[in-house]
Amino acid sequence: MSTILETLPIETVPADRRSRLNLVVVMPAYNEAGQIEAALEAIPSYVRTILVVDDASSDDTPRVVRRMAERDPRIVLVRHPENRGVGGAMVTGYRKAVELGADIVVKIDADGQMSPDDLPALLRPLIRGEADYAKGNRFRDFRTLAHMPPLRRAGNMVLSFLTKAAVGYWQCFDPCNGYVAIRGDVLRELPLESIPHSFFFETSMLAELYLLRAVVRDVPMPARYGNERSHLSIRRVLVEFPCRLARCFARRILLAKFIYDFSIGSVYLLTGLPMLLAGLVYGLNNWVRYAQAGEGAPTGTVVIPTMLIILGFQLLLSAIHEDLQSAPHEPICGGVPLAYQESSP
């Protein structure tokens, strides 16, 4: 037995061999009657099952999907009686994919933004056992990046940095990119009940994957924008994301640094943060007291908080450096490729 993908890229593997891979596409859909037919038609033939999760659409989306399912038996329609948000639709799709015994599950949106031409590159690190989760990164292609709306581009850059700190995957970028794929054996380990039903679900997925010590791989792909209308509200992002990211960061630090493990970075945090806070509080309190009295502060009163602040800041920088180095590097799948093999003659 020899693995096909050791020598061949997936797009060159014959369809009869591709079918051995139980590849499931989950497509969340909400009022996408005008876009979803083209999105479904573009999905490659080597995808075994296409799960369309209709999130209580008020237009003809379910009717269009049923008509498409009559022509393509791979399409399965799952409907929500009430709107649960894109995260809720994906949780439903993920659970159904697990029931189907999926080897890999891919999220493809119904608006046509995600090109099937990028699918092989997204699948390759998962099939080869090099990663547990793969996601698109639109910021690697500078030519097509110019077509991204400026406000969305700026927002993604700021959000990407904050998300890096919150979830711990410092090497990843473009966290709002919804073109993602996950190995089925890793998906089965995720606590799907903890995934938010809002647009924050993509960041929450990364946070849960970090606690599992899963390897996440960025896959460069171009940004594609057409006439589709985004359901993501900027106001909702500004209100919801900062608080959620802060909670996500605090939870990650508590669990990863003090519950699941205790490393030198934990020591840096335990010593550096109190020093910095003590120096700031002590120094500010004395500065206000002597300023109100119109007197000069004694040398020791100045030196002590200064030294506390410097030492505390240096220890926190060391903690950040340790956090940068502690991102997962070894796939939890053990580097084992999927059972995607060619029988020897």
The amino acid occupying position 5 is L
Q: How confident is the model at residue 3 (pLDDT cuts 50, 70, 90)?
A: very low
- What is the spatial distance between Cα 343 and Cα 148, in angstroms, rounded to a whole number? 45
- Quote the pLDDT of residue 7: 40
pLDDT in tens, 107-126: 999 988 888 889 999 999 99
Question: Which of 73-77, 314-318, 319-323, 337-341 shows the lowest mean pLDDT across its residues?
Answer: 337-341
- Quote the pLDDT of residue 339: 62
Contact between residue 88 and residue 197 where contact means Cβ atoms under 8 Å apart: yes
Tokens of 181: 């794929």
pLDDT in tens, 38-68: 999 999 999 999 999 999 999 999 999 999 9
Tokens of 75: 């399409």
Give the right CATH number for 2-257 from 3.40.50.2000, 3.40.50.970, 3.90.550.10, 3.40.250.10: 3.90.550.10
In a 10 Å sphere around its CB, with 0-12 CB exposed, 13-18 middle and 19+ buried, how is residue 190 labelled?
buried
What value does the mean pLDDT take over residues 308-323? 95
Tokens of 150: 């400026």
* Mean pLDDT for the chain overall: 85
Scored b (16 or more CB within 10 A) or e, 287-320 reads eeeeeeeeeebeeebeebbeebbeebeebbebbb
106: number of Cβ within 10 Å: 25
pTM over 0.75: yes
- What is the spatial distance between Cα 162 and Cα 240, in angstroms, rounded to a whole number? 13
- Quote the pLDDT of residue 115: 86
- What is the spatial distance between Cα 97 and Cα 280, in angstroms, rounded to a whole number? 52
CA angle 320, 170, 180 (to 5 degrees): 155
- What is the spatial distance between Cα 94 and Cα 92, in angstroms, rounded to a whole number? 6
- What is the spatial distance between Cα 86 and Cα 276, in angstroms, rounded to a whole number? 41
DSSP states of 148-174: S-HHHHHHHHHHHHHHHHHHS-TT---
Phi, psi (rounded to 5 degrees) for 193: -65, -15
Scored b (16 or more CB within 10 A) or e, 160-179 reads bebbbbbbbbeebbbbbbbb
Provide Rg for the chain, Cα atoms.
24
58: number of Cβ within 10 Å: 9
Maximum mean pLDDT: which of 148-157, 192-201, 267-276, 320-329: 267-276
